[in-house]
Amino acid sequence: MTLQIDLLAVGVHPDDVELSCSGTFLKHVAQGRRCGILDLTKGELGTRGNASLRLQEAAAAAKILGADFRDNLGLADGFFRNDQESLLRLIEKIRHYRPRIVLANAVRDRHPDHGRAAKLISEACFYSGLRRIETEYEGKLQEAWRPAAVYHYIQDRLLEPNFIVDVSPYVEKKMEAIRAFASQFYDPSSSEPVTPISTPEFLEQVKARMATYGRQIGVAYGEGFTAARAPGVNDLFDLL
């Protein structure tokens, strides 16, 4: 069955969405929007935990966020490519869920998967609107569908945002969703290797980043996004 959702948050790894744009996701859920999450991989190359555990954590986080669904494309972590096979698999999902807005990985970042996924997602959203590209989902031919907008959330690198969303009321719920990925973050009893995101300071740094963006728009906490094209507004008072 083809769906029609408002917002699809796509991340190459489970926890990308939670760390980077889940405040925005929560805000739109609270507005009554239909919102879902699509992970491109299972994060099987992650230093801590394993793919099976990561999927369990992802499901728990999606429940906290109030997502209508969470799906996984099953591409190879670290080794996926922006090629015909990957594009067609992602186009099938876009045409199935028919999102109006797509949130995607950062256009460039410390992790090479992030920028590569950003390009893959953006191109798939465009090609999804070309009717001569034929795809099937569950044995049925799909209609072309192009999201109205693709916005890229900001991850490890401190990029200059094109716009910032006020997420102040949703910060604690966002942090709860992030902590659902317990295997990835600080645990003094863990014997697994330390990573840049498993230090005691990391989660405070996530909040500090949101505070930095929030200060730019005069609120407590914000999440920044970049856009390939300038977003349109109804009137100047939307920009206050």
State pLDDT tens for residues 48-96. 989 999 999 999 999 999 999 999 999 999 999 999 999 999 999 999 9
Q: What is the pLDDT of residue 233?
A: 87
Closest CA to 15 of 202, 222, 231, 226: 202
Which domains, and CATH codes, for the chain?
7-228 (3.40.50.10320)
Contact (CB, 8 A) for 180 and 38: no
From residue 234, how far is each of 78, 206, 230, 231, 238 by CA, in Å? 41, 32, 13, 10, 7
DSSP label at residue 232: P
Q: Are strands 149-153 and 101-104 parallel, antiparallel or unpaired?
A: parallel
Q: Higher pLDDT residue, 238 or 81?
A: 81
User: Residue 181 contacts by C-beta under 8 Å, 6 or more apart in sequence?
Assistant: 14, 15, 18, 54, 57, 58, 61
Q: What is the pTM for the complete model shown?
A: 0.95
The residues pairing with 142 across neighbouring beta strands, listed in sequence order, are none
* Helix, strand, coil share of the chain (percent; to 5): 40, 20, 45
